[in-house]
Amino acid sequence: PKFPRSWIPQLLSLSHVKKIRYNFQGGGISPYTRYAGNYKHRRAWMTAFAKSHFDNRDFLRWTDVRPNSTRREFKFKYTRLGDFDYSGRDLPGGFIVREVGVAEVKERQDLYFDDFYFGTMAASEFTVAPGGDGPCTLRFYEAVAALSIPFVPEKDAPVVGCTSPYADIGYSFATDKHIFPYSEQIVEDNFKLFVRYQTFTQGDNVPRKVKSQGWMNR
C-alpha cells in the first residue's frame, strides 16, 4: 500500500525515544466478531508469544476488548495477561480498520491517523505484527513507517508466508526464530525504503522484482 504524503511529517513529529521493547495493538481476540474464525490461530500465536516473552517493558492492547461498549462483539470476558496488558483500559485510539463505516466509529477524529497507535509504535523497539485472516498485515508497514522494527511469526514473514508485491521491498525484520537486539541502523534503512516505495514523495517507485514479475500489468 502507498501511504499519504501528509502522514510523513506526522510520523516524524512523534517522539521516537524508545521506552517500550515489544508492542502489539490490534483486534481479533473477541470470539463474537464476524472475522473471529479467520483470525483465531494467529491471535492464539500472539497470546502465546506475549505470555512467554512480554514483561513490564512491553505493551499489549487488544482493541476489541471494550467493556463499556454497547455492542455484543466487544463485551466478553477477558483476563489480562500481566501488567503489560492494557486491553480494555480507557486509552486514546484503538481504531479498528474493519470497523470503518460502523456508526460507533464514524465520528472518530483519529479515523485515518491514530496518534496513540502510531505514537506507541514510535516509542517501541519492535512492533509485533502477526497476520490476521492471512499472513500479510498492514501493521508490518505501519511499524516501519513509525520507525519501529517489525517482528513477525517466521511462517508469516515476507516472501516466506506473505507474498504480496510489497513483500519484495527488502525490509529488515525480526521473527520468533530470529530475535536480535534493537538496531537504529535497521530502522533508518527501513524508513528510507518506506519513503521510496510506499509513498509518492520520491515518485511512484516500484521494487525491481515486482516489475520483473509483471505485477504492474495485473
- Describe the crossing of helices 115-122 and 138-145 by its angle, rounded to 10 degrees: 70
Q: In this predicted model, what pLDDT tens digit does every residue of 3-27 receive, in sequence order?
A: 988 889 999 999 999 999 999 999 8
- CA nearest to 40, candidates 122, 109, 132: 132
pLDDT band at 100 (very low <50, low <70, confident <90, very high): low
| Entry pTM | 0.88
- CA nearest to 104, candidates 143, 82, 72: 72
Identify the residue with better confidence: 151 or 103: 151
Give backbone dihedrals phi and psi of 64, rounded to 5 degrees, phi first: -100, 10
Task: Quickly count: other Cβ atoms within 10 Å of residue 79's Cβ.
Answer: 6
pLDDT value at position 128?
Answer: 97
Query: Does the pLDDT at position 92 exceed 50?
Result: yes
CA–CA separation, 109 vs 167, rounded Å? Answer: 31
Query: Does the pLDDT at position 102 exceed 60?
Result: no
**One-letter amino acid identity for 79?**
T
CA–CA separation, 115 vs 111, rounded Å? Answer: 10
Query: Does the pLDDT at position 101 exceed 60?
Result: no
pLDDT value at position 6?
Answer: 86
pLDDT value at position 35?
Answer: 72
Average pLDDT value for residue range 142-164: 92
Helices (H), the chain: 7-13, 36-53, 115-122, 138-145, 184-198, 208-212
Lowest mean pLDDT among 100-109, 159-168, 186-195: 100-109
Identify the residue with better confidence: 92 or 124: 124
Q: In this predicted model, what pLDDT tens digit does every residue of 168-200 receive, in sequence order?
A: 899 999 999 999 999 999 999 999 999 999 999
pLDDT band at 110 (very low <50, low <70, confident <90, very high): very low
Any residues with CB less than 8 A from the CB of 192 and at least 6 apart, and which?
Answer: none
pLDDT value at position 96?
Answer: 65
Are 119 and 127 within 8 A, CB to CB?
no
**One-letter amino acid identity for 96?**
I
Average of per-residue pLDDT values in the chain: 86
Angle at 198 between CA 194 and CA 202, to 5 degrees: 85
pLDDT value at position 111?
Answer: 44
- In this prediction, what percent of the chain has a pLDDT beyond 90? 55
Average pLDDT value for residue range 53-61: 97
